[in-house]
Amino acid sequence: MKKILILILFLCNSCGYQPIYLGQNTDNFSYNEITLTGNNQINKKIISSLNFKKDDSDRAFDEIIINSNKTITETSKDSKGQISSYKTSIKTKLTIKNEGKIIKNKIFKNDFSYSNKSNKYELAEYKNQVENNLIKSQIEEIFLFLNL
C-alpha cells in the first residue's frame, strides 16, 4: 500500500502541473494609449480588473482598443404574450496595436439564458448578477489571452 501511495505522489509531482494563474502578472503589460468604445460600465470593470499600466517607453504597446456591448433579448413568451425568458449577451472586442499594426485581435462573447421572475425588483437584481458574472468570465478569458 505504501508503494502505491509513493508512486502516485511521485507521478503527480513530476507531471508539471501548476495552477493557471501562478506567476502570471499583467504588471508587465503596458500601453501608451487606451481607447474605450461601447458600454462604459463593462469597459471600466475590465480595465480596473486587469490593471493595465501606462508607460511611455518604446517597449510599450502603442494602443489597446476595447469595444464592448451588452444585449438583453426576449427569447420566449407564454400563451398570454408575456415574456417568460431572457438572454443576456456580452461581446467584447480587444485589439492591441503596436506601431500602427494589429498584433493581437480577439472577440470574446458570453451569454446566459434565464427565466422571468414575477417580482420585477428580483428580476433586475438577477440581471445585474448575471451581467457581473459574464463580465468576470470575460475578464478571465482576456487575462488568459494576454498571457499567451
Answer for the pair 35, 65: CB distance below 8 angstroms, yes or no: yes
Structural domains of the chain ordered from first start: 28-146 (3.30.160.150)
- Cα–Cα nearest to 34, from 16, 49, 52: 52
> What does the block give as the cell for 10?
511521485
Give residue-wise pLDDT tens across range 83-113: 999 999 999 999 988 888 888 899 999 999 9
Q: What is the pTM of this model?
A: 0.76
The pLDDT score that the predictor gives to residue 26 is 47
Cα–Cα–Cα angle for 93, 95, 99, rounded to 5 degrees: 165
| Percentage above 70 pLDDT, the chain | 80
The pLDDT score that the predictor gives to residue 73 is 94
Give residue-wise pLDDT tens across range 110-126: 999 999 999 999 999 99
Quick check: helix, strand or coil at residue 41? helix
